[in-house]
Amino acid sequence: MLITEILARNARMYRDEVALVERDPAIGARREITWLEFDRQASRFANALRAHGVRPGDRVAHLLMNCLEWLPAYFGILRSGAWAVPLNFRFEAQVIRGCAGLVRPRVLLFGPEFIERIEAIRADLDRDVEHYVYLGPEGGCPAFAVPYAAFVAQAPSRDPALPLELTDTAALYFTSGTTGLPKAVRLTHRNLEHACYVENRHHGQTHANRHGERSEGG
The string of pLDDT tens digits covering residues 49-90 is: 999 999 999 999 999 999 999 999 999 999 999 999 999 999
Query: The domain containing residue 198 runs over which residues?
Result: 3-203
Task: Provide the CATH number for the domain around residue 150.
Answer: 3.40.50.980
Alpha carbons 212 and 198: distance in angstroms, whole number: 20
pLDDT in tens, 162-217: 999 999 999 999 998 778 889 999 999 999 999 998 988 888 877 777 654 444 44
Query: If you compute the radius of gyration of the chain from its CA atoms, what whole number of angstroms results?
Result: 17
Count the domains in the chain: 1
Measured CA distances, 154 to 48, 49, 150, 151 (Å) = 8, 11, 8, 8
Alpha-helical (H) ranges within 105-185 are 115-120, 122-125, 148-152
Task: Answer yes or no: is 14 within a domain.
Answer: yes
Q: Is residue 217 part of a domain?
A: no
Return the half-sphere exposure (C-beta side, CA atoms, 13 A cut-off) of residue 207. 5
Within-domain flag for 211: no
pLDDT reported for residue 154: 96
- Residue 30 located in a structural domain: yes
